[in-house]
Chain A
Amino acid sequence: NFMLTQPHSVSESPGKTITISCTRTSGSINNNYVQWYQQRPGSPPSNVIYEDNQRPSGVPDRFSASIDGSSNSASLTISGLKTEDEADYYCQSSDNSKKVFGRGTKVTVL
């Protein structure tokens, strides 16, 4: 079984850029796609990135993501931060028999 490790929180000012990391503890990050979900208070999660770096329609191009095999991690970058980006962000990946979520990163836009 593997885990996905994320920072607990990230804070930054509007207009700035943040990057949230997600490190896979065992097995290669390249083995299975990584997704990112945004969850605002009182709402279900919504997908902002799927299949490592693909944006669903309607998600602004301020959201981007990448995979780094050397650090066995994925990253979500949000540029031009807006107050509406304040939310919890979860990375998620899989193996053959289960889906695994990271513990989530709380993004605060100061």
Chain B
Amino acid sequence: QVQLVESGGGVVQPGGSLRISCAAAGFTFSSYGMHWVRQAPGKGLEWLTFIRYDGNKKYYEDSVKGRFSISRDNSNNTLDLQMDSLTVEDTALYYCAKDSEGYCNSPGCSHFGSWGQGTLVTVSS
């Protein structure tokens, strides 16, 4: 079955950088668009970014555009999120999520098919 396992979370100082990853298994990773969604403690869900199945198209929420960068390695079935210029407002549980349909070209093409358990990023001095 589909497995998405996030890793790389931790504590980072304001202004710092962190790279988190998502290891995928149980499906043909190279056929599906992938997303990152975060949830601040006690708050709601916030969609952050989408990458097309082949990695050639990326979309970002305005709040992270220019600071966060999504990438994927289809040969190793991994999804990454590089986060720079972090602020305390970036403190959250970060989920990777898979499209329910393959070969989507944009974030709104399909709904979320599967989610990982999340990795916690804490920005604090």
Spell out A's residues near B (CB within 8 Å): 1, 32-33, 35, 37, 39, 44-47, 50-51, 88, 90, 92-104
**Total contacting residues, chain B, CB less than 8 A:** 21
Given contacts A44-B115, A95-B108, contact A100 B47 (CB under 8 A): yes
What are the residues of chain A within 8 A of B100 when measuring CB–CB? Answer: 47, 50
> What residues on A are CB-neighbors of B111 within 8 Å?
33, 35, 47, 50-51, 92
What are the nearest 9 A-B pairs in CB distance?
A94-B108, A44-B115, A99-B47, A104-B44, A50-B111, A35-B111, A101-B45, A103-B44, A99-B107
Q: A44-B95, A50-B100 are in contact. Are A97 and B106 (CB under 8 A)?
A: yes
Q: How far is the CA of A50 from the CA of B100 in the complex (A)?
A: 10
Question: Max chain A CB contacts within 10 Å: which of B44, B47, B95?
Answer: B44
How far is B112's CA from A35's CA once the two chains are assembled, in angstroms? 9
- Is B45 in contact with A104, judged by CB distance below 8 angstroms? yes
Q: Check A94–B107 contact: CB distance below 8 A.
A: yes
A98 touches B47 (CB 8 A): yes
Residues of B within 8 A of A (CB): 35, 44-47, 50, 59, 61-62, 95, 100, 106-108, 111-113, 115-118
What residues on B are CB-neighbors of A1 within 8 Å? 62
> Which residues of B have CB within 8 Å of A88?
44
Assess the A44–B47 pair: CB atoms within 8 A.
no
Question: Which of B46, B62, B108 lies in contact with A101, CB distance below 8 A?
Answer: B46
Q: Indicate the member of B45, B115, B117 with the most A CB atoms within 10 Å.
A: B45
| Candidates A37, A100, A104; contact of B112 at CB < 8 Å | A37
> B112, A96: Cβ atoms under 8 Å?
no
B46 to chain A, nearest CB (A): 7
